[in-house]
Amino acid sequence: MELETQITNALDVMQDEMRRSLMHFIAIPTVNPPGESYENCTALLSRMLRDCGVGHRILRVPHETHPRFSIVGSFGAGEDGLHFHGHYDVVAAQSPRQFEPFEKDGRIYGRGASDMKGGIVSMLYAIRAIRECGIRLGKRITVTLSPDEETGGLLGIRHLAHEELLPEPAFGALMPEPAGGNIWSACRGALSLGVTIRGRTAHVGLEHEGINAFEQMSEVVRSLLELKRRVQERRTALAIRPPEADRSVMLIGGRSAGGTNFNVVPDAAFFSIDRRLNPEETLDQARTEIEEALSLHRERGVEVEVEIFQEGEPAAAAEDTPLGEILFRTVHEVTGSAPSFELCPGILETRFFSSRGFPGYAYGPGLLEVSHGPGEYVRMQDVLDCARIYALVACRLMAITGTGA
What distance lies between CA 26 and its chain's CA centroid? 17
SS3 content of the chain, % helix, strand, coil (to 5): 40, 30, 35
Distances (CA, A) of 358 to 86, 173, 204: 16, 7, 59
Q: What is the pLDDT of residue 126?
A: 98
Q: Within this chain, do residues 176 and 91 fall inside the same structural domain, yes or no?
A: yes
CATH number at residue 306: 3.30.70.360
CB–CB of 363/386 below 8 Å? Answer: yes
CB–CB of 396/334 below 8 Å? Answer: no
Q: What is the pLDDT of residue 1?
A: 60
Q: Within this chain, do residues 318 and 302 fall inside the same structural domain, yes or no?
A: no
**How far apart, in whole angstroms, are the C-alpha atoms of residue 164 and residue 167?**
8
**How far apart, in whole angstroms, are the C-alpha atoms of residue 13 and residue 240?**
37
Q: Within this chain, do residues 168 and 35 fall inside the same structural domain, yes or no?
A: yes
The string of DSSP letters for 262-280 reads: TTEE-SEEEEEEEEEE-TT
Looking at the chain, how many residues does it have? 405
Digitized pLDDT (tens) for each residue of the chain, 405 residues in all = 689 999 999 999 999 999 999 999 999 999 999 999 999 999 999 999 999 999 999 999 999 999 999 999 999 999 999 999 999 999 999 999 999 999 999 999 999 999 999 999 999 999 999 999 999 999 999 999 999 999 989 999 999 999 999 999 999 999 999 999 999 999 999 999 999 999 999 999 999 999 999 999 999 999 999 999 999 999 999 999 999 999 999 999 999 999 999 999 999 999 999 999 999 999 999 999 999 999 999 999 999 999 999 999 999 999 999 999 999 999 999 999 999 999 999 999 999 999 999 999 999 999 999 999 999 999 999 999 999 999 999 999 998 765 443
Q: Within this chain, do residues 371 and 274 fall inside the same structural domain, yes or no?
A: no
In terms of Cα–Cα distance, which of 347, 383, 375 is closest to 93? Answer: 375
Q: Within this chain, do residues 194 and 291 fall inside the same structural domain, yes or no?
A: yes
Distances (CA, A) of 231 to 115, 186, 286: 29, 19, 9
In terms of Cα–Cα distance, which of 264, 265, 268, 269 is closest to 253? Answer: 269
Which among 312, 343, 366 is the end of a domain?
A: 312
Give the CA-trace dihedral at 55, 157, 398, 178, to 10 degrees.
110
Residue 236, helix vs strand vs coil:
coil
CB–CB of 268/201 below 8 Å? Answer: no
| Cis? peptide before 167, omega within 30° of 0 | no
Residue 75, helix vs strand vs coil:
strand
CB–CB of 32/90 below 8 Å? Answer: yes
Distances (CA, A) of 247 to 223, 253, 279, 298, 318: 20, 19, 11, 29, 21
**How far apart, in whole angstroms, are the C-alpha atoms of residue 272 and residue 193?**
6
Q: Within this chain, do residues 102 and 169 fall inside the same structural domain, yes or no?
A: yes
Q: Within this chain, do residues 156 and 233 fall inside the same structural domain, yes or no?
A: no
Q: Within this chain, do residues 23 and 141 fall inside the same structural domain, yes or no?
A: yes
CATH number at residue 77: 3.40.630.10
Distances (CA, A) of 172 to 115, 302, 317, 331: 21, 47, 10, 17
Q: Within this chain, do residues 170 and 319 fall inside the same structural domain, yes or no?
A: yes
Q: Within this chain, do residues 177 and 34 fall inside the same structural domain, yes or no?
A: yes
Q: Count the Cβ atoms, other than its own, within 10 Å of residue 237.
A: 10
Provide the domain limits for residue 159: 3-187+314-401
H/E run at residue 349: none
**How far apart, in whole angstroms, are the C-alpha atoms of residue 56 and residue 71?**
7
The string of DSSP letters for 129-172 reads: HHHHTTPEESSEEEEEEES-GGGT-TTTHHHHHHTT-S---SSE
Structurally, how many domains does the chain consist of?
Answer: 2
Distances (CA, A) of 244 to 232, 235, 276, 345: 11, 10, 15, 11
Residue 70, helix vs strand vs coil:
strand
Q: Within this chain, do residues 280 and 337 fall inside the same structural domain, yes or no?
A: no
**How far apart, in whole angstroms, are the C-alpha atoms of residue 90 and residue 120?**
13
Q: Count the Cβ atoms, other than its own, within 10 Å of residue 79.
A: 12
Q: Within this chain, do residues 291 and 322 fall inside the same structural domain, yes or no?
A: no
CB–CB of 190/347 below 8 Å? Answer: yes
Which among 268, 284, 312 is the end of a domain?
A: 312
Which among 297, 312, 327 is the end of a domain?
A: 312
